[in-house]
Amino acid sequence: MISLVTAPQISVNEPDMHVIEVFVKEKDVVVAGTVLCVLETTKATMEVTAHIAGYVSRLAIKVGDFISVGEPICWIGLSLDDKLPHQEITIESNSLQGLKVTKAALA
């Protein structure tokens, strides 16, 4: 099983945040409550913590990034073998005819 950690809403009027610190890297072991990163708006700063124990399977942010509420921060798996879920892509344009997908894209 793999679990997605997303950016929380820090301030009602500010959906965008600045990543000012990141404390984990991919393959790190975390427990529930481990501080993953610190996000900042113009009026508040918040530590984002892991909600489950496991391994950081993929990190989607770095210091200096700007992210919005609900955007991925990282994925936490119960083991290093957990794979990220594949996301289906729908193409609604005929301008991409002949396009061949050769590798599954990860979210």
Per residue in 72-86, pLDDT tens?
999 999 988 877 776
pLDDT in tens, 7-61: 999 988 899 999 999 999 999 999 999 999 999 999 999 999 999 999 999 999 9
Is residue 65's pLDDT more than 80? yes
Question: CB under 8 Å to 21, separation ≥6 — which residues?
Answer: 37, 38, 63
**What's residue 89's pLDDT?**
46
pLDDT greater than 50 at residue 90: no
- Which two structure tokens, joined as six digits, stand for 74? 């990282």
pLDDT score at 79: 86
Q: Measured in whole angstroms, how far is the alpha carbon of residue 82 from the centre of its chain?
A: 16
